[in-house]
Structure 1
Amino acid sequence: MERILPGHTPPVLHSTKPLQNRQSSFEYRWLTEDPDRRGEREALLHDEERPRRDTFGHAGRRRSFTLGRAAARLLAGDVLGEAPANVPLRRRSDGAVVVEGYDGALSIAHTGPHAVAALAPPPLGVDLERIQPRHPDLPGFLLHPDERRLLERLPLDRTRGVILCWTLKESALKARRSGLRTSPKKLRLKDVQPAAGRALIRDPEGPVALWQARFAERDDCYLTFVYPADAAQKE
C-alpha cells in the first residue's frame, strides 16, 4: 500500500470513522501482471464477478479486470484490517465499483499489464494510461478550443502532453461519476505543472467546480489522481 505521491503526506485514513473531509489521507495499490501470481489474484475474484470477467473477449482485458479487482481488495483489506478475499465489492448502476458498507470512495484503473486502485474520502478518480502515440484526432475530442494551445505550452513532447491531458480529464470524469457520458471538453485544464506533478481542473457544470490533480510517470504510464480542490486553491 502506498501514499498517493511523493511530497503529499496527509494524515492516515481511518477505516473506523466516517470519511467526511479531505483531511484524511488516501492510499493506492499498484499491481503489475505476474504469471507466477496469476492464480493467487484470480482467487480474489468473487463468484459474481467471474461471469462479468468472462464477457471480455480479449485475454488481456480479462487479466486487466482481474488485476484491478485484486488491487482493490488488497488495498481495502489493508485499510479495513480484513482478509482481502473477504472484501465485498459492488458495481453500481453507473459503473463505479464501491466497497460495500464502507463510506470511502474507491477508484480503479488499468492499462496493459498494470492496474491501480485508490481509496479516499469521496469523491475520487484515478486513471492510468500508457504513454504511447494515439489517434491524431484525440486532442480534438479531448480539448476545448480554448485549451488547444495548452499542448504547445507544456514542456513535454506531444505524445506525453496528449496522454497527460487525457488522464487528467478521465480521472475527473471518474471522480464526478459520469465517465465519458460527459464530454471531456466540458472540463478545463488549468495550471498544469509537469515538474511538480500538479494541475487544477475546472468543472463548471459538475458537482465540484474545481478539482485538484496529482500525477506522475511510472513504468511508461501516467498515473493521475483527482479529488476536490481545497478552499485556498479556489481563490
Structure 2
Amino acid sequence: MSTMRLQVAGINDVLARAPADLPSWLSPSESERLAELHVEPRRRQYLAGHWLARAVLAAHSGGAPTDWLLQQRRSLPPAVIDHEATLLLSLSHSGDWVAAAVADQAIGIDLEQRRPRAALHRFEPLLLPAGETEGVLDTDTLLQRWVAKEAWIKRDHGSALPERLAAVAMQPAIGADADVRLLTTAAFHLGIATTAAPWTLELPLAVYASERWQVQDLDRA
C-alpha cells in the first residue's frame, strides 16, 4: 500500500527539537549547502526543513530522525540514501512555517503564508481556470491558485516559471478524482499533489477550507 505523511510546523518549534550540534545530523552535502547560505533566516529555514524531513521519515518508516541520511541536490528536494525502500520527499517553507512530506509515490507540496501580495495580480491570467473572469478574485484567492499549481509543478521537480504556470490548466475536481488538494488554515495555504494514499497529516492549525482540483498538463498533452 502506498502512503503519504506530511507535517507542517513553526520554524522555531522545529529548531527547538533539533540537535544543536549540526555535524551530528547533517550529511556532508547538506553541510556544504548550509555553508553557502549567508542570510540567517534562510539558514534557519534550511535547517528546519531538513530536520523536519528526518522527523517525518522516522514517523513514516521507523527509526530515529538522526538515523536518516539525506543527499542535498541542487534545485531538487533532498534524496533519501542508504534505505532499501524508495521514499520521496517534498519540502516547502514560507515565513514562519515549514512543511515536509514523504511518500512512496511522486509528491509535490507547496506552502505559502497568507499575507497581502499585490504582485500576484500580474500573474492572474496564468492562475485562473477557464471561465473565471480577471479582476474578480482577491490576492488571497489568487495565492490559493498559485499554491495548487506549484504543488503540481513541484511533483515533477519543475519550477513555477510563467510558461509552466500557463501549461498547468486546472478545473474544480468532480467526485473523488483530484490531482491536487488545497488546504487552508488561518495562517497558510497548503497544496498537495500525489497519488499516494492514505494520508497522515500533522498540522498545527485547523483546516477550515479545502478544495480539490483536476489538472490538465498541456506540457504532457
In which range does the TM-score fall when normalised by the shorter chain?
A: 0.7 to 0.9
- Select which of 87, 95, 108 maps to 2:68: 87
Point out where structure 1 has 5 or more consecutive residues left out of the alignment: 1-22, 201-211
- Percent of paired sites with the same residue: 22
User: Matched residues in 1 for 2:195 and 2:135: separation?
Assistant: 24
User: Matched residues in 1 for 2:186 and 2:32: separation?
Assistant: 31
Compute the TM-score of the two structures, normalised by the length of structure 2: 0.72
User: Matched residues in 2 for 1:39 and 1:25: separation?
Assistant: 25
Shift of 1:84: 0.9
Write the deviation string for residues 109-159 of structure 1: whole angstroms up to 9, x where unpaired: 11112111111232110010011122144424743684652773xxxx612
Aligned residue pairs, count: 192
1:159 corresponds to 2:118: no
The alignment's C-alpha RMSD in Å is 3.3
Shift of 1:80: 2.3
* Greater RCO structure (CA 8 Å; 6+ sep): 2
Match of 2:183 in 1: 216
Q: Is the 8 Å Cα contact of residues 42 and 66 (structure 1) preserved in structure 2?
A: no
User: Matched residues in 2 for 1:217 and 1:164: separation?
Assistant: 8
User: Matched residues in 2 for 1:122 and 1:229: separation?
Assistant: 6
Shift of 1:94: 5.2
Secondary structure class of the residue paired with 1:89 = strand
Compute the TM-score of the two structures, normalised by the length of structure 1: 0.68
| Aligned pairs (5 A) from 1:32-181 | 32-34=10-12, 37=16, 40=19, 43=22, 44-92=25-73, 95-100=76-81, 101=83, 102-134=85-117, 135-140=119-124, 142-143=126-127, 146=130, 149=133, 152=136, 158-180=138-160
Shift of 1:55: 1.9
User: Matched residues in 1 for 2:19 and 2:196: separation?
Assistant: 38
Shift of 1:99: 1.3
Q: 1:66 to 1:143 in 2, by over 3 A?
A: same
Write the deviation string for residues 63-104 of structure 1: whole angstroms up to 9, x where unpaired: 111111011001112222122112111234552322123412
Write the deviation string for residues 152-187 of structure 1: whole angstroms up to 9, x where unpaired: 3xxxx6122111011101101100122235621110
Off by >6 Å, runs of 4+ in structure 1: none
Q: Is the 8 Å Cα contact of residues 129 and 170 (structure 2) preserved in structure 1?
A: no
Deviates more, 1:82-91 or 1:94-103: 94-103
Point out where structure 2 has 5 or more consecutive residues left out of the alignment: 198-213, 216-221
